[in-house]
Amino acid sequence: MRVFSIFIAILLFSFPALAQDSESIENIIINKAQNSLSSDVSNAVHGIALHGDIKYPADFKHLDYVNPDAPKGGFLKMATSRGFDSLNPFIVKGSSAPGLGLFVYESLMEKSRDEPFSVYGLLAESVELGKDKSYVAFNIRKEAKWSDGVPVTANDVVWSFNALIEKGTPHYRAYYKDVKNVYADNEKRVVFEFKNNKNTELHMIIAQMPVLPKHFWEKKGRDFGDVITEAPLGSGPYKVNNIRIGQSIEYVRDENWWGKNLPVNKGRYNFDKIRYDVYREDNVALEAFFAGEYDVRFENVAKLWAKAYDVPPVKKGDIIRQAIPHKNPAGMQAFVYNTRRPVFSDINVRKALLYAFDFEWANKQFAFGTYIRNDSYFENSELASSGLPEGRELEILEKFKGRIPDEVFNTVYKPPVNDGTGNNRANLRKARKILKDAGYVMNEDGILENKNTGVKLEFEIVDNNQAFERWVMPFIQNLKKIGVKANFRVVDSAQYQNRMNNFDFDMTILTFPQSDSPGNEQRNYWSSEKANQIGSNNYTGIANKAVDELVEMVINAPNRKELIYRTRALDRVLLHYHLVIPQWHYNAWRIAWWKKLHHPKKLGDHDPGVEDTWWISKSPDGDN
């Protein structure tokens, strides 16, 4: 299963949201005497939660999912399938190297992995949220420094915000749309003013904004919008050591890292060196793992997990292999329609093709029946809709009656089910009937064509993972049986990313990742303004005002209970627009690792934390 992490996959353009959009970044640092919001010391706290209370008190010593006594040392070798040509992970251009966001850059606050959505001070020692939620202020630690020894300042935060908005990837624009103004109140205090107080998570996502060194980018006239291949400067636990563009990147632990004794960092970042090697073919990568060329493998292919690990290192116990349950919302992995294309602009076509994917047979053949079919954009969470809407969900949806599909109110969304035998004739007959009723007739080439518009039902499925071929080809054969012509094309990662950025595809396979607290990122997935914005995550091309309004309702949910109701309502509407053909999810991490590695007894609910919470020990037992 592929998960398009938000910090990699979401891309953005700039937007003129600042009050001084004609001024330089320097002018945004407003005179304190005229514009400052008074600091409310009594309101300054070490951590905040989106809804409810935080777990860790002000005097906490370490996070529960770390081993505070983990030894430091050793060399962690990792693998990636994604080639890279840039060390600037914040822009549309290029394909960035793995690890930069975790190892080199830090944010104002750190999100915990064992709470739905809570953050604790990192670069900022405390945060002040205005009583009317019209602003948030962060007080930066005096000891916070860049790896060259220069102190981190409020001016760095202001510069970072504006650089990300003006030249960063598109999700920053969507995330920070409701920020009215940002300024340095003094050298160590930065204030963000909001356009309104309805965006309940805005202060939380600002707290997670990457903070960049202004002096690094301004030195020698570096342009933040450009690809860079030199080692970047950050404030994090590691420095970039050796770089081989497109092949490998190595990080070395910074012994002088300013933040190594903070409670949020205790027991973390234990390896002296970490290297990522690029493997473009998965079968080569698997053999390299068994040969000890790298140390940890996340297995995304069920068939390999079941069959390929019967090898000497596993039999002897040199490689440990576990499926570890997690609490991650699964999001929606699916065949995704690009509704900008004429072939998929008709909802009847989208409904019909759903019947050609025989999940039950494919799951049995290729995944030994281990996968769970998706029927929600918020799978594996309490945010997923089910049954027919009632109560508060129905009350929300009734406001949109006549503007959303009628099926939302009277039809439970469920992908077609088959018996697993591979005999899919009944479902294919349903598909043919839908297409016939919609005006599609067979042309002389044996392809269905709309008798009114002339649109032919032929398209390309593009992906960058050859492993999906065994799932796709039976789907294509079923499509052929109903007069639909499709082909499958695998391209390299760089070409694939470029095509996704420009919406240059008919159909693809991807995941819309979700969190326990959906919010501003939903704009980037579904809002009308993102439908034609190059680099956004609105891959489906949906542009619907009712969906826009539901997205804003999710973002502005005043409490957890209302967030659940509003998210389920949005889920129902998206499902009944038939933007995707749902695939599957698996609610565990399949991880194999060489036994020199050890992990905490308790892992984070949402991330196993291999790179930052595991360690190498001479003890054969460790702390696993």
What is residue 71's DSSP assignment? P
Between 6 and 276, residue with greater pLDDT: 276
Query: pLDDT tens across 400-439, in order?
Result: 999 999 999 999 999 999 999 999 999 999 999 999 999 9
Q: Which of 9-23, 257-271, 443-457, 472-486 has the lowest mean pLDDT?
A: 9-23
Q: Where are the domains of the chain?
A: 6-60+105-218, 62-103+236-328+587-624, 333-585
Indicate if 62-103+236-328+587-624 has the same CATH topology as 6-60+105-218.
yes
Burial-class residue 324 by CB neighbours within 10 Å (0-12, 13-18, 19+): exposed
pLDDT at residue 624, rounded to an integer: 56
pLDDT at residue 36, rounded to an integer: 44
Query: pLDDT tens across 237-269, in order?
Result: 999 999 999 999 999 999 999 999 999 999 999
Query: pLDDT tens across 131-177, in order?
Result: 888 999 999 999 999 999 999 999 999 999 999 999 998 889 888 99
Place domain 6-60+105-218 in its CATH homologous superfamily: Periplasmic binding protein-like II (3.40.190.10)
Query: Across all residues in the chain, what is the average pLDDT?
Result: 90
pLDDT at residue 619, rounded to an integer: 60
Q: Find all residues with CB under 8 Å of 9, minimum gap 6, and list them.
A: 500, 510, 537
Query: pLDDT tens across 370-404, in order?
Result: 999 999 999 999 999 999 999 999 999 999 999 99
pTM above threshold 0.75: yes
SS (H, E, C) 195-248: CCCCCCCHHHHHHCCEECCHHHHHHHHCCCCCCCCCCCCCCCCEEEEEEECCCE
The vertex-149 CA angle with 146 and 154, nearest 5°, equals: 50
What does the DSSP assignment read for 562-599?
Answer: HHHHHHHHHHHHHHHTT-EEE-EE-SEEEEEEETTEE-
Q: Quick one: average pLDDT of 587-615? A: 94
Query: What CATH architecture is 333-585?
Result: Roll (3.10)
pLDDT at residue 390, rounded to an integer: 97
Q: Has residue 27 got a pLDDT over 50?
A: no
Q: How far is CA 449 from CA 164, 342, 482, 578, in A?
A: 45, 12, 12, 20
For 534-563, b/e burial (b = at least 16 CB within 10 A) is ebbbbbbbbbbebbbebbbbbbbbeebebb
Q: Has residue 1 got a pLDDT over 50?
A: no
Query: What CATH architecture is 62-103+236-328+587-624?
Result: 3-Layer(aba) Sandwich (3.40)
Burial-class residue 297 by CB neighbours within 10 Å (0-12, 13-18, 19+): buried
How far apart CA 19 and CA 25 sit, in angstroms, is 12
User: Roughly how many angstroms between the first and final C-alpha of the chain, as a whole number?
Assistant: 26
> What percent of the chain lies above the pLDDT cut of 90?
79
pLDDT at residue 621, rounded to an integer: 53
CB distance 178 to 534 below 8 Å: no
Upper half-sphere CA count for residue 355 (Cβ side, 13 Å)? 21
How far apart CA 450 and CA 407 sit, in angstroms, is 24
Q: Quick one: average pLDDT of 445-460? A: 96
Q: Has residue 218 got a pLDDT over 80?
A: yes
